[in-house]
Structure 1
Amino acid sequence: MKRIILYIALIAAVFAACDPIEDRDSLSGVVSQENLQVSADPIVVDGRNSNEVIVENNSPLLSRWISDRSQVESSYATVVFDNVGTKEVQFVGLNGNGSKVEDNLSVQIDTMTNLPANVKTRLGIKYKADGSVDKTSKPYFWGNANYVEGVDYNVSVVQEVAVNGRLGNKLTLSCDAPYLCDWTFGDAKGNKNRVELFITARGTFTLSLDLTKADGSVIENAYSQEINVEELTTVPDEYVNLFGDFLSNPDVSKSWQWSRNGKVWANGPYHGFTDPGAGWWQNSYEDMIGRQDGIMTLKYSDMTLTKEVFEGGDTSIDAVGTHTGSIELDLGSKVDGYSVGTIKLDGVSILYGVNVNGGNAVFTELALVSVTENTLILGGDNGTGETWLYKFEAVNE
């Protein structure tokens, strides 16, 4: 009996010596909205309110803070916003009796100091060896002021020239404005401040540039120029491998089917693998016959994908027969270490091109992971942190 009493005393002493993560002495009480003691204050950088906001709750209840990029459960934390302007931090408190109390705190964001990774990549921000931003290389921030082309920033357009002096089909483009760039050159598109674009036809085409400020507003046609293409100086292998040799035969088409070797369909970590054989749930061609089998034919002259669906598959995905839609190839949206471009589809899907973990929603945009003369690998992202890879082989006719 004495030993049991001693154990109880030791356990009580241990718990008494521990500090809780959140010091709340009276969580059994009920705090109303008007009695909340909460605050939200942007971190000031160079005299301007940054998009990082310090939030604090001094009321005796549990805390949850929500911004457009952050959700934090702590009485004291930092949340981040994705744009400048007047924003609201949402506070959700949990009383000791289980009831919730909410409040919205307005903050003014004037400058972006904490940028999402994709924004840094698009802007092309460079960093020094110590990790600090290299302010000698423009752009080095995402701005919102009204900057003027030719005064505050410059646009550079360099057109490739053939050895015979004729104007080529590839442009090297750069814009050092502190805005996000969206370029259009004929049917080619790019969304980085420094990018190479090309078209695969001769003629006169419009180059245009849209700029997106840090508040999300867009300056349309901030720059435009007519470009005359006299010779096809650049045609990436991805185009010829995917569509066939349309340069020597404009009406050529190329067909693809499930690869007959190895794993052909698998899910895995988001942008974290480049072959179905390295995925989590791996499937071979035999596994796909009962899902959807067929042949896909791609034609460059009219940018179409025609899918012939065979019998024996899941007809809730597609009916047996022929389905045709349009295809768009963008090599300016590649992801280093994962893909070489993006394929967008309208009115048609690839073989079994659905998100099985998302109600069989159709993948209308897929990553072009790789394409050679005989092998095509595409990737579909379902928005929940995983990727589905598809592996096809060229049909030898």
Structure 2
Amino acid sequence: MLTLLYTSCDPSSDSGSTGFMENVTAESVDAKVTPVVVNGKNTNRLVIENHSPITSQWSASQLAEDAVTSSKAYDTIYVTKLGENTVTMHCKNIGSDFTKDFNVNVDEISYLSAELQKRLCVEGSEGNYKSKIASIKGQPAQFGTEFDKAKVKVVQEIKEGVKGNVFTVENDNATLADWAITKDGANEPMATANLNDDKLMVVEPGHYTLTLTYTLANGSKDTYTVSTFDVEDLTTVPQLLQYLKGGENGDGTTTWEWSKKASSVWGNGPFGSGNKPQWWGVSLTDIEGQGSGKNGGAARNGTNASFTLDMNNNTATNADGTTLPIKLNVLEHKDASWDQGTITFPTVTNDKFVIPMGVNVNEGNAAFQKYYVLVSSDDKLVLTAAESNGANAWFYVFTKKTKK
């Protein structure tokens, strides 16, 4: 039986003699960061300690997720990169605030965070992770530093001999994957994905190039052009696309205006819950005043504002004439049980946006780039866009405008 010996060694520390009333400084703070050692190797589990009489907040940047933080005086955190990592101690003192960096070296990624497990498509516990990818299911899995092109697989959907618009992608390497498929002549990918076992869907025929940007455990990245593909027809037509095109007998365009039935047509609420404003909302009548103070004025944002989605040309046009390219991704979700996909405006600016009131009023009226579709039925369209904190969101309630 293999016995794992857990110890802590080679701490990155800074010690000083301090009393409770002393004015602790970066030079005198008694604190350290120590990697947990397994079988002689520094793992990515880090023990943080603060023995000084001072309030502290620890943070460590990650490769594929937000920084890990802790406000405890003694805790175990993690990093997700091999090699040198920096843990920052933010301290609030009697006289002033200061930060202190601790550098630690990681030899092995023994612990996989929930985000790494999701991206790598593995399951299990520390020291015993297994792949969930069908072709290598059950094989030991980890986050590593080797990449073999032969372990990348792509299958294009073909129905009745027609080359279709859905691609099943697989990366059997122990690396992170960022997939992108781009139509010839386009500046932005039509679809992206970031799981090692994933799918890509494009929404129009054409010639495409599929790339994989892989990230190794040491943080290095490279992009591999997997192949090019011809999409002859939409062998799978997303329901959302069909709806935005106006249905089976539509002309590929739909126009949307503020709902005349909703009590609130715009407002905020929690990101990831509900399908209308829940905390604070503005009625159709009052949206005129709100919209007049935003870029584009009442014409772009007010009571009579509207916008048209042209799914034939992948553009959106506000009634004031503002037109931008859009990207529909029916496979991108905050939560697949909550939203139906995303509509993204890659070239949006704070002055040039299409969705009425499409700005984050809590962050300087910065224009939103990505909207999640929450409702697309019965001539209704409800969108939401998240603030940068990922917790708050703005909701937009529209109804289809009758064509003349």
TM (norm. structure 1) is 0.77
Q: List per-residue Cα deviations over 1:213-260 (Å, max 9, x = no partner).
A: 234332201x51222333321110111211335x877x6321011122
Cα deviation code 1:327-358 (max 9, x no counterpart): 11122321223222222113423011111222
Q: How does 1:169-318 map to 2 (within 5 A)?
A: 169-185=165-181, 186=183, 187-221=190-224, 223-245=225-247, 252-262=252-262, 263-273=264-274, 275-276=275-276, 279-290=278-289, 291=291, 292-293=302-303, 294-308=305-319
The alignment status of 1:391 with 2:391, answered yes or no, reads no
1:370 is displaced (CA, Å) by 3.4
Q: Which residue of 1 aligns with 2:148?
A: 148
Determine if contact 1:50/1:110 at 8 Å carries over to the other structure: yes
Deviations 1:146-181 (A, max 9, x none): 23233xxx223222222x333222222222222222
SS in 1 for 2:219: coil
Q: Which position in structure 2 is the counterpart of 1:87?
A: 85
Alignment match of 1:53 (pick from 46, 50, 62): 46
Counterpart secondary structure, 2:240: helix
Secondary structure of the equivalent of 1:121? helix
1:396 and 1:133 mapped to 2: Cα distance? 58
Could you say if the C-alpha distance between residues 116 and 335 of structure 1 is closer, same or farther in structure 2, counting changes exceeding 3 Å?
farther
Q: AA paired with 1:107? A: V
Aligned-partner Cα distance in 1 for 2:80–2:354: 33
Gaps of 5+ in 2: 1-16, 62-66, 134-138, 184-189, 292-301
Q: Is the 8 A contact 1:329 1:344 kept in 2?
A: yes
Q: How many angstroms apart in 1 are the aligned matches of 2:129 and 2:101?
A: 36
User: Are residues 182 and 72 of structure 1, via their aligned partners in 2, closer, same or farther at CA, if it must alter by over 3 Å?
Assistant: closer
- How has the CA–CA distance of structure 1 residues 282 and 226 changed in structure 2, closer, same or farther, with 3 Å as cutoff? same
**Aligned letter for 2:132?**
S
Residue 156 of structure 2: aligned partner:
159
Point out the more displaced range, 232-241 or 137-146.
Answer: 137-146
Residue of structure 2 equivalent to 1:335: 334
CA distance in 2 between counterparts of 1:142 and 1:257 reads: 50
Q: Which amino acid aligns with 2:42?
A: N
RMSD: 3.0
Match of 2:70 among 69, 72, 82: 72
CA distance in 1, matches of 2:394, 2:260: 18
Over 3 Å counting, the alpha-carbon distance change for 1:92 and 1:276 in structure 2 is closer
Contact in 2 for aligned 1:91/1:103 (Cα 8 Å):
yes
Q: Give the 5 Å matches for 1:11-26.
A: 26=19
1:122 is aligned to 2:127: no
Alignment-derived partner of residue 351 in structure 1: 356
SS at match of 2:22: coil
TM-score by length of 2: 0.76
Assess, with a 3 A threshold, how the Cα gap between structure 1 residues 115 and 244 changes in structure 2: closer, same or farther.
farther
Offset at 1:46?
Answer: 5.9
- The alignment of Structure 1 onto Structure 2 pairs a total of residues equal to 350
Percent identity at matched positions? 29
Give the equivalent residue in structure 1 for 2:34: 41
| Aligned match for 2:385, one of 377, 380, 386 | 380
Checking the alignment, whether the CA contact within 8 Å between 1:349 and 1:362 is kept in structure 2 is no
Partner SS, residue 239 of structure 1: helix
The SS at the match of 2:122 is coil
Residue 244 of structure 1 aligns to a residue whose secondary structure is coil
* Pair 1:50–1:340, CA change in 2 (3 A): farther
| AA of the residue aligned to 2:317 | T
- Secondary structure (helix, strand or coil) at the match of 2:268 reads strand
State the distance in 1 between where 2:395 and 2:128 align. Answer: 36
Q: How far apart are residue 298 of structure 1 and its match? A: 0.9
